[in-house]
Amino acid sequence: MATPSTPCRYLRKLVISIVGPLLAALVSLSTPAWPNGIVIGLDADMSGGAASGGEAIRRGILLAIDEINARGGVLGRPLELEVRDHRGNPARGVDNIAAFARTPDLVAVIGGVHTPVALAELDLLHQEEILFLVPWAAGTPIVANGFRPNFVFRVSVRDEFAGGFLIDQVLARGFSRPGLLLERTGWGRSNDKAMQTALQQRDQPAAPVAWFNWGARTLKPQLDALAASGADVVLLVSNPREGAVAVRDMAGLADDARLPIVSHWGITGGDFASSVRDDVARIDLTFLQTFSFFRPPFPERAERVLAAYCARFVPCTGPADVISPVGTAHAYDLTHLLARAIARAGSIDRRRVRTAMERLDRYEGLVRVYDPPFAPDRHDALTRSDFQLSRFGTDGAILPLDGS
């Protein structure tokens, strides 16, 4: 496991303590209080089971907005953020999109965390021609949605890619019979298709599947069924609440009956780590991520953003204090890409901005170099090469694994 050395941690904290307040002061002094701002909507889970994921997205957007507005905004106007909470409820998400459709000067909605909510919103989004940017929702059909023109762009995991990555990870570790433990939603079904396809392509037998519903209080019957089918590792697709149930039930088994769990990233969007800290210590749990401030691909950019983060969102002294870091990093990059598209379009007309998103030039982001970010036939910016496995540290921090 790669963890920063003690001198590095102290140096990082020193840099943040000095640079962070200076950045905050500069933003405060240089951001004009202009009227007639350009509105970005955020439709996310802000109070439900994945609320920390929604908050992480909000923070990434705000960090990017601070930088953009400090440079004069876009088209001479500041960016503004309007937040609506869907609470993980698809019907509430549709209502939020309807409200955003009536919002003056709205250029785009950034939507996050839950695939079922995003899928429910697609019809109205395209009916109203609202640009929909996804920093955290992995269901393949969110982007591969059949709409022409397609108003959805994503800097996030795509299940079609994640399925192959996770299958290869467990096979590389010597497991031969993965069992799938999946939530009974569009996201779960998307992963079932992706993982079974990946197994078939690798001449492996189909995986046994155990399904569960949101709100499940025990998953022991599903775990027992997977073990009885011969599974030697569990691939989990779950949000934090049900993921915590799965981990507790697995940790409660006898030592020789516990199976390793390799999870999709959904468990990192809430209070999962704190709620199952003792249980996690008793099992082998790893999970999918795309970005870490502990091991960023571009350290100088990450240090600058981390300093701004710790200046704006306290308490924060370093990477361990960044909640759900993938949400922040993806939303940060997406907001900068949107600003570039608005500038390229020379307008906040959403149809023109949509076209500009497909024609953006190279952008050196926090997560990766986007070269280019999107294309007319490709609205997913990340690929399998951006994926890594991580685990929770003893303090709940998300730490990348070496060699993933």
How do residues 162-186 score in pLDDT, each as one tens digit?
999 999 999 999 999 999 999 999 9
The predicted pLDDT at position 7 comes to 46
| pLDDT beyond 70 at 371 | yes
pLDDT at 156: 98
Strand order in the sheet with 106-112: 79-85, 38-44, 106-112, 131-136, 152-154
Work out the percent of the chain whose per-residue pLDDT is above 70: 91
Q: How confident is the model at residue 33, as a pLDDT?
A: 47
- Please report which residue ranges of 51-137 form alpha helices under DSSP H: 51-70, 90-101, 115-127
pLDDT at 1 over 50: no
**Mean pLDDT for the stretch of residues 231-237:** 98
pLDDT reported for residue 2: 40
pTM: 0.91
Weakest mean pLDDT among 211-215, 270-274, 353-357? 270-274
Of the candidate ranges 16-25, 118-127, 147-156, 368-377, the one whose mean pLDDT is the lowest: 16-25
> What is the chain's mean pLDDT, rounded?
93
Whether residue 151 is predicted with pLDDT greater than 50 in this model: the reply is yes
Cα-based angle 234, 115, 104 (whole degrees, multiple of 5): 160
What domains can you pick out in the chain, each with its CATH number?
Answer: 6-157+293-383 (3.40.50.2300), 160-289 (3.40.50.2300)
Count Cβ atoms within 10 A of the Cβ of residue 193 and give its class: 0-12 exposed, 13-18 middle, 19 or more buried.
Answer: middle
Give residue 34's pLDDT. 52
Average pLDDT rounded to a whole number, residues 212-229: 98
The per-residue pLDDT for range 64-76, each reduced to its tens digit, is 999 999 999 999 9
Tens digit of each residue's pLDDT (9 = 90 or more) over 2-40: 444 444 554 555 545 555 554 544 444 444 445 599 999
**In this predicted structure, what is the pLDDT of residue 32?**
42
pLDDT of 205 higher than 80: yes
Task: Determine the average pLDDT of the residues in 262-290.
Answer: 96
Region 206-214 average pLDDT: 98
Mean pLDDT, residues 99-123 = 97
Instruction: Give the pLDDT confidence score for residue 39 in this predicted structure.
Output: 98
pLDDT of residue 124: 98
Strands in 227-282 per DSSP E? 233-237, 261-263
Letter string b/e over residues 356-366, b meaning 16 or more CB atoms within 10 A of that residue's CB: bbbebeebebb
What integer is the mean pLDDT of 268-280?
Answer: 93
Q: How confident is the model at residue 270 (pLDDT cuts 50, 70, 90)?
A: confident
Percentage of the chain with pLDDT > 90?
90
239: how many CB neighbours lie within 10 A of its CB?
27
The whole-number average pLDDT for the span 275-296 is 97
Q: What is the mean pLDDT of residues 282-311?
A: 98
Buried b / exposed e over 265-283, threshold 16 CB at 10 Å, is bbbbbbbbbebbeebbebb
- Check residue 44 and give its pLDDT: 98
